[in-house]
Chains A and B, each alone.
Chain A
Amino acid sequence: MFRLFKKDLTLFLHDQRSVILTFILPVILITLFAFAYGSIGHFDGRSEPVSLLVTDLDKTITSEAIIHKIDSVEDIEIIVSDPVKSKDLVIKGEYACALIIHKGFQDSLEYGSAMPVELVYDRSREMEIGILQQNLISILISSTSEIIIKKRIENYMNELFPDDENEISDDIFGTVIKNDRNKQVIKWTPVVGEKNDTKLGLIQAVAGTAILMLLFSVAGVGTSILEEKENGTINRLLYSPLKGSAILYSKMLFAFFISILQLTAMFLFAWLILNMDMSVSIPGLILMIIATSFAVSSLGIFLAAVAKTRQQAHNLSTIIILVMSAIGGSMIPLFIMPPILQKIALLSVNYWGIQGFYDLFWRVLPLKEILPKILILMSIGIITTLASIRLFKKRIMKMQ
């Protein structure tokens, strides 16, 4: 069996395309995805500021104060413009939205009427609108509330003490607002992802891409059995004193070995080049790599075992790997998907692998907590291995 393994390894190393597909392409994809997902894992949730076009038609102290307050928010960058140009820029897609403070804004606050404020936006840029919406509502409510309260205190004091100065009302307002500002309504305490510096996006990129590419690599190994059947080398191997089962086991061993090598190389790359924090449970990491490699390599061999010809195996594995990777979270982070897809994802090997690596690198859970996912991956491996052995004996080893 060792000779067969050595032969497969030599063939693999001779085939530059396989080496590139196994190691170089995943590295490129991980880097690209890590770059694309980069902001997802920020601990404080901050990203690049969203640009907001602002038009002040009211030009009062109140409207200017509001604009100043919006400008002080880190997530928003103000760009002053006129209403026609603002709308045009949003329509052309250069900005997500424009805030127009119409004339009569300050008066509306004083008289308690509806605020003439308009937000012109592009519906397709939901993420940016979401960030702006959250901040603008918060600023408008707090700022306008302060103005309304102050105005009402002044009016009330003027009615009660028409001859007095405004100092008392200012004191009352200052005390009310100060007390209100000191009040913290909700204490925000992150309990996941705060223990290490790894960004969630990087974990998603490494685990998701590595498992996807792993599936393609081992499907290639599986397909090579059919290739050997088609070019007659399987028959020749059977003419030798070698046992038929040794041929299959050596392929499985080789697929498992390549999987471990590929997955380890991906994490080493993520650690050394992308600064992935490796201060996690090392036994957990080793077991996760072994379990994921076993599950993925067995599945890859199984896909080849189901097919009758090399071309059929190639088509079948491409379709199944892509579908499974899409629903399993290799291509799109699972938490973005609707609940029904998140449930279907449980059927994919990608899901269990990616979630296991989330547990390790994001949640920084100990081995004990990751074991159920490791066991599920091992079970997938065992079931598909047994099915492959049965199918191969029936289809591949049968002589004509």
Chain B
Amino acid sequence: MITVRSVSKTFGNIKALDEVTFNIKKGEIFGILGPNGAGKSTIVNILNTLVRPDKGDVIIDGVNIKNDGETIKMIMGVVPQEISLYEELSAYENMMFWGGLYDIPKQKLNKYIQKTLEIVDLVNRKDDRIKTFSGGMKRRINIACSLLHNPKILVLDEPTVGVDPQNRNHIFEVIERLNEEGMTIIYTTHYMEEAERFCDNISIIDVGRIIAQGTLKELRQISDVKDLLTIKLADSNSALISRITSENPLFRFDSTSGSLKVECGNIGNDTSIIINQIQNSGGVIERINSQGTNLESIYLKLTGKELRD
């Protein structure tokens, strides 16, 4: 559906994108994960033909963006990061305006508005002015306004920033429903759990470069991040710790937490073996914590940095 090949873009002295390449299949949810300023919005703007790449090609639904920007804009819906709505207009007036920009006949547009309001669950508030809405409701209308021309591809640029958990779940449900109906979704975020929750494929971007991409499983393999067991001993005297770590070289003592840390390929299989090894070395276990591989640890491993809000 979308092919991005060796795309680079420089703004003044800043290299916003450097040889970015990825493919998005029809009907998948593709996550672009990276901190602020990593280049996510530049990718969105290039996909929507607003920014012309200095180098490389972008083919969307068989159309090169350099040749036919109009067609691209018709098949793509973009949900901006900001709540880009007219606060003094009602939800319905906003939707009529934004949908109207795509030359949809009024009767048809009215039908789409009704349907979209049902999807975002705001039918009852359609005549209220946006300024009376909560942050989460504004986000939902922000999404709704990008769906009215029935795009094949929906780009969501950080759609849950500043949204409470209840509204966040509501937005997730909307995204999942749209995807189930066959819409291809590009989802940029710096929230790992969101990317983990519904992205089929994830591209990790940092300082304009793709660090890694693939499914979560593939990213785990690429990054070689392992599950982690943290074991607290009842008595962690130095002689005992020395004995355990010398007999088990993979065990590491973290003096800050006063715990033993063990990386393992599979927590489920390896936990009982590790417990036996500690007990054989004379250790008495007080508490065990396990931490499976997640996107956060993969990102940390790949970039050496933590993703923060």
Contact = CB atoms under 8 A, between A and B. Distances in A.
A399 B49 CA distance: 11
Given A236-B98, A240-B98, A15 B86 contact: no
A196 interface: no
A236 B80 CA distance: 7
Contact of B101 (A15, A235, A237): A237
A340 to B, nearest CB: 46
Contacts of A237: 101
B88 A3 contact: no
A241 B84 contact: no
A7 interface: yes
A231 B82 CA distance: 7
Contacts of B50: 235, 238-239, 399
Interface in A218-277: 231-233, 235-242
Contact of B102 (A11, A231, A241): A241
Interface string B130-146: 00000000000000010
Of A10, A237, A242, most buried by chain B (CB within 10 Å of CB) is A10
A235 B100 contact: no
B41 interface: yes
Interface residues of B, number: 28
B74 interface: yes
A400 interface: yes
A14 B89 contact: yes
Contacts, number: 59
A127 to B, nearest CB: 49
Contact of A400 (B11, B48, B98): B11
B84 to A, nearest CB: 4
A7 B50 CA distance: 23
A11 B88 contact: yes
A21 B74 CA distance: 40
Contact of A239 (B80, B88, B93): B80
Given A239-B50, A399-B50, A400-B11, A233 B86 contact: yes
Given A400-B11, A400-B41, A239 B48 contact: yes
Nearest to B82: A232
Q: Which of A233, A237, A238, A242 has the most CB of B within 10 A?
A: A233
Contacts of A241: 70, 73-74, 101-103
Nearest to A397: B50
A28 B74 CA distance: 49
B38 interface: no
B51 A11 contact: no
A400 B81 CA distance: 13
B51 A232 contact: no
Given A231-B84, A235-B80, A242 B89 contact: no
B101 A232 contact: no
A14 B88 contact: yes
A197 B146 CA distance: 60
Nearest to A12: B88
Contacts of B89: 7, 10-11, 14
Given A3-B100, A399-B51, A239 B86 contact: no
B60 interface: no
A238 B49 CA distance: 10
A239 B129 CA distance: 23
Contacts of B129: 14
A3 B101 contact: yes
Interface in A192-237: 231-233, 235-237
A3 B84 CA distance: 17
Instruction: Give 4 closest A-B pairs by Cβ, nearest first.
Output: A232-B82, A232-B84, A236-B84, A240-B101
17 contacts: A3-B100, A7-B97, A11-B86, A14-B88, A15-B88, A232-B80, A232-B81, A235-B50, A235-B84, A238-B50, A239-B48, A239-B73, A240-B73, A240-B102, A241-B101, A241-B102, A242-B101
Given A239-B73, A399-B51, 13 more contacts: A11-B86, A231-B83, A231-B84, A232-B80, A232-B81, A233-B84, A235-B50, A235-B82, A235-B84, A236-B145, A241-B101, A241-B103, A399-B45
